């Protein structure tokens, strides 16, 4: 199937198919921007972090911003495509909440502190995804 139709899941994994990349995006959503912040949060080897940040920048999920002129120092902030990744993280986390035990951190609204219950639905019908059988189709085959 992946050979007949370009699969969106496979395509997404070209960008974020690595656990470190996904955890860097998670930390970026939580407000981290600087190399040392990511390094400490993730306990990741500097060489690996450099490689992942470079890839996320090249792929357009992070952009560089100068935060110091002298010495020149850059930080990493999410692009629109990077910010758009937050629903993926939350749906992935919600799966863990349902299937991997109850002691995991929760998502809460940063302003109201109310608990968030991430669910995936079809915007057209409102049906929960996973409640009906699906298939993949080329763009022109879909109604």
Structure tokens at 9: 């899941």
Q: Which of residues 71-130 bind a copy of itself (CB under 8 A)?
A: 81, 83-125, 128-130
Q: How far apart are CB 71 and a copy of itself at their closest, in Å?
A: 28
Q: Is the dihedral of CA 74, 80, 22, 40 positive or negative?
A: positive
Is 48 an interacting residue with respect to a copy of itself (CB under 8 A)? no
* 54 versus 117: smaller Cβ distance to a copy of itself: 117
Q: How far apart are CB 54 and a copy of itself at their closest, in Å?
A: 19
Binding-residue total with a copy of itself (CB under 8 A): 83
Indicate the helix (H) or strand (E) that contains 75: strand 73-78
- Considering only 27, 63, 74, 75, the residue that binds a copy of itself (CB under 8 A) is 27
- Considering only 33, 39, 41, 55, the residue that binds a copy of itself (CB under 8 A) is 41
Whether cis (ω within 30° of 0) applies to the bond prior to 71 is yes
User: Rg (Cα) of the chain, in Å, rounded?
Assistant: 18
Q: Which of residues 49-68 bind a copy of itself (CB under 8 A)?
A: 60
CA distance 84 to 14: 16
């Amino acid at each position: 199937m992946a050979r007949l139709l370009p699969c969106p899941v496979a395509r997404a994994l070209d960008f974020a198919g690595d656990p470190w990349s996904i955890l860097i995006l998670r930390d970026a959503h939580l407000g981290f921007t600087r190399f040392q912040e990511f390094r400490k949060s993730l306990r990741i080897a500097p060489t690996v972090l450099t490689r992942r940040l470079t890839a996320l920048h090249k792929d357009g999920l992070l952009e560089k911003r100068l935060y110091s002129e002298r010495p020149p120092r850059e930080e990493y902030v999410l692009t629109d495509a990077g910010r758009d990744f937050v629903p993926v993280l939350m749906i992935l986390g919600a799966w863990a909440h349902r299937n991997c035990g109850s002691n995991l951190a929760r998502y809460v609204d940063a302003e109201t502190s109310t608990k968030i219950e991430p669910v995936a639905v079809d915007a057209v019908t409102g049906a929960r995804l996973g409640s009906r059988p699906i298939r993949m189709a080329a763009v022109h085959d879909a109604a």
